[in-house]
Amino acid sequence: MTSQDNAPKLREVVVASDPTNHGAMVGHVDTSQFAIGGPDGVGHVSPGPNPYDLLSASLAACTAMTVRFQARRHKLPLEHVEVGVSFYHGAHGERDSFQRTLVLDGELDAQQRAFLLEAANLCPVGEILGISADIHTRADVTTSGHNASTQASYEDVLGELQIPYVDAD
């Protein structure tokens, strides 16, 4: 075994502007690509998940995988897991936070459900995000739904941040 076999494996995400689509941002991971939404700096808003949506999606995906892994490892009758995550920008110096909701389907008793809710806190992405943001987890018995009319826009969040204006060269 060479020292290169022991080297950490890296998975790079590249985000670049797409000149064929008015400079919209596109993320690339291996052969996959996805649109990244948000303002383009000249008055247009590109469709797609914005960076906060992607951060929330990372937390939701990691949580779901962690819960599913723990359920399989402990042979629990989890049939379906659904994780909803909302991001809240902390105003006036407060910490940012995530609200995480888990829906656990299956013939699980109260102790098994409590165990899986606790397992959600083992999510590695959550551990990283928890350094600078609070993560609140709750159980829900129904599937999560969202009302787009009550969702904060990326522009709303950016407006609350103290970001200096930088003029492109």
Total structural domains within the chain:
2
Tell me if 81 sits within 8 A of 110, measured CB to CB: no
Name the pLDDT band for 38 (thresholds 50, 70, 90): confident
Name the pLDDT band for 142 (thresholds 50, 70, 90): low
- Look at residues 13, 59, 49, 16 and name the one whose alpha carbon lies nearest to residue 154: 49
Model-level pTM? 0.76
Q: For position 169, what pLDDT does the model report?
A: 35
User: Do the domain assignments include residue 151?
Assistant: no
User: Between residues 68 and 6, which one has the greater pLDDT?
Assistant: 68
76 pLDDT above the threshold of 80: yes
- Look at residues 122, 117, 135, 161 and name the one whose alpha carbon lies nearest to residue 55: 135
Cβ atoms within 10 Å of 85's Cβ, excluding its own: 23
Full domain range(s) for residue 43: 1-48
Same domain, 124 and 66: yes
- List the CATH number of the domain containing 58: 3.30.300.20
Same domain, 77 and 98: yes
Same domain, 63 and 124: yes
Same domain, 27 and 82: no
| Mean pLDDT, rounded, for 17-41 | 85
Same domain, 135 and 62: yes
78 pLDDT above the threshold of 90: yes
Q: For position 167, what pLDDT does the model report?
A: 39
Same domain, 59 and 138: yes
